[in-house]
Structure 1
């Protein structure tokens, strides 16, 4: 199966992303209309204040990202050919699988026991991946491939930049829509992680590890039983919790990746 992000992208991301694109474009059009109207009416002071406000926001954002970048290079460990070369090779191979020519710079940092990973874009065009030390300790190579693939998914899907990202930006002020889109993006990136790992068992166990938090217990977990817990979530309270969160339930994510593998990856491998 050749990697094509538009074929892998989750339908919910396409739906909610389209809503954001429409609402965002409308809001941008309204802003443009107000600015043009104000210009014709001679409201130069109001226009100047608006431009200053936007400029200040941009400067604050830029400084925050620059400080984060400086902290990252001074406190995190950069993975490279001469620093954890095995992990460096996994990052390079994973990036190549999804068509990223220049692989993101990957860093490991002391997480104090927190198992997590992040895709980050700071100043410039450089992409970054952050991996916590606890995640590396807790996962085997194939699970790490899934996690790295998931974070690469955010980069390759345009979740951190690009013209669509900026067109959608005003629409993200709609709270529930923003959260729905965020959950859908995670499902897309799980698919990318599955594509990179090419291992359903490793992909499922990497996700369920976030639930149990124990390497010893994770090796003993039955992913089918964990997936069945999704049917035990109460309808009303489960729905309320769901719509106010940025991430899908872990039981949902394991179920979704299993269903996608059964319908797409497995059938492709059998042809």
Structure 2
């Protein structure tokens, strides 16, 4: 099976996974688990975020090098290609209950026609892949929106089609409280560097905890990204964050027939329901391994 997405192409391999090409680049999907804290004190996988892993001439390169090589006129097509690749791989590698996070760059949605086309494409891909829209979380990344009104209309249309909305990298310049108020997301993912600064002092951590509580009062779940140390994981749980993501728990893994075995011992659980009130914060009695 092959599928053309603009100048790019997605090809299904014999093992059921898919790769994509864009010019001389070969693109693969890596999924990084997102964990939720459970009553038994053990974090369990509740979702996966799709991340692109490019190579050139048989050598792996960083995503930054790949995206910097893409001219502005091709960025929308590339984002569509990578998102489609992730959804096809989710259909072949993840269980039918697993939640999938995919990215949307808000700077690309410059007018209504672009948003309508992106939504139509999402619906078609999910239909082809057999993915229930309720499994998909659309992450609005930190880039500045070309038009907040157009972005808000697009987000409302995604939500009306059963998709959930997340704001990525909260704490950076454009991912701020104004965007949260405008888009009314289901989930807010806190920026890794911002979290690190907040956790570095008692006053910062108190403010971070208060923000988690405030979002929970509005029915918004929180994800702490970039958790790389055991002490950060302990503080994330203590803050009341619903979910965590980072190297301390699991690194991104390129999809393959054996995908997920490296984190299988951690276990899986359903993604938490949208919070309606702040949950009871608790001191963690467990030790985290790095």
TM value normalised by structure 2? 0.25
Higher normalized contact order (CA 8 Å, seq sep 6+, divided by chain length): 1
TM-score, length of structure 1 as denominator length: 0.27
